[in-house]
Amino acid sequence: MRVAAAHTACIAGIGQTEYTRRGGITDRSEFQLACQAIVAGAQDAGLAPAELDGFATFTEARIDAATLQLALGMPSLRFSSSMWGGRGGGACGALGHAAMAVETGRARHVVVFRTIAQGQSRRYGRFDPQRAQGNMAAPFGLFTAPQMVALVLQRYAHLHGLDPLAMAEVALAFRGHALRNPLAVFHGKPLTLEQYLAARMIAEPLRLYDCCMESDGACAVVVTTRERARDLQARPVEILAAIEHGEAGWGVGPMGGHNMPEARYATGGQRDLGRELFARAGIAPADVDFAQIYDHFTGMVLIALEDFGFCAPGEAGAFVRAGQLRWPDGALPTNTAGGCLSEAYVHGMNHVLEAVRQLRGDSTAQVAGARIGLVTGGSVISPSSAALLAAA
């Protein structure tokens, strides 16, 4: 059995606000939502906010560490970082920054957080002309993420075939998990195959329910060492590995210009990331009990299964159609709280929280005997990131 050293980084607390559809939170700012989630995470760990001494975040956060320090009454700020770029790919990268900080002694208790209030700030699903200067595809009519990703999926379909019923199964499986999760935006709102197939086409092959929602909410996790976590109140979760990686020549992928290498065009740009992640942790995909895969689009979940080694190229559709993502009987229960498609879109931080709940044993769709879980950042985004977590 693998024995973790005392200095190994662990997640010792998790916190969140409520999740709503875009524009649903109007009584608090993004900053206030961040503070609410951070305080909840500290309380879950059994810490006072003043005992925190570091922050890590990602994707161009509009909140600075010094202001958070003042608001939370922290006497010391020893570490602050943000993963450049990445956007939805950055949650696990920020988690890796926090892990490095506590393992090297830079800080004692580092919070990783993300906060979004799309009703108050910009919408991630709408074309923003002020940000279009970095989008080399905009002059060709590729204004939104579904349009950009659709081309990758069309190429995948050309090479391997893309079964619409496999994409439907991703949406239906995750909605089924959300129905068990009272915190999910789509809790109490079942989705049928007939509804899925009847929904309007957004950008072929992506229908409405193939695309993640737009949400308001905030999430936070508290990272410390295993030694310190033993003295706290919540069951710790070990960070086996949390890394960021951008493939050579990928650039910003289809989110800014379709400049990826041809041999990798029909992937999510995460194959090298996956190989490095499992090598760093010293385990294999077969050791993973569940996954929290960034589901900005259903088709990209299929590709992620292949990039991370759960299926060979072109075989994810059959794997998914066999019900392998569903709880409780699937071989790899995935996005057990509902994911970005049906729980909330908080740039993947909600995936980290659900992985922690699984490894603590208190998920609403608990995988029996769960010991190791995979969390991935957004695909077709570079750099992206991923993490392997384990029950401590």
Sequence-ordered list of residues with C-beta below 8 angstroms from that of 279, at least 6 positions apart, any chain: none
- Cβ–Cβ under 8 Å, residues 387 and 112: no
Pairing of strands 237-245, 110-117: unpaired
Question: What is the maximal distance between C-alpha atoms in the chain?
Answer: 58
Residue among 124, 156, 196, 294 flagged as catalytic: 294
- Minimal CA–CA distance to 36: which of 213, 216, 186, 179? 216
Phi, psi at 9, each rounded to 5°: -75, 140
Distance CA(336)–CA(181), nearest Å, equals 9
Sort strands 372-376 and 290-292 into parallel, antiparallel or unpaired. parallel
Query: β-strands 384-391, 237-245: how paired?
Result: antiparallel
Q: Of 19, 156, 196, 345, which residue is the catalytic one?
A: 345
Cα(316)–Cα(293) distance, integer angstroms: 14
Cβ atoms < 10 Å from Cβ of 386: 33
Q: Is 196 a catalytic residue?
A: no
Q: What span, in angstroms and rounded, lies between the C-alpha atoms of 286 and 243?
A: 20
CA distance 204 to 143: 15
- CA dihedral sign, ordered 103, 104, 107, 113: negative
Amino acid at 194: E
Cα–Cα separations (whole angstroms), residue 240 to 56, 290, 389: 18, 15, 5
d(CA 280, CA 76): 32
Helix ranges restricted to H, the chain? 30-45, 65-72, 91-103, 145-160, 164-178, 193-198, 226-229, 271-281, 298-307, 316-321, 339-342, 349-360
Q: Is 294 a catalytic residue?
A: yes
Q: Which two tokens stand for residue 90?
A: 């950055």
Partner residues linked to 201 by β-bridges: 207
Annotated catalytic residues are 294, 345
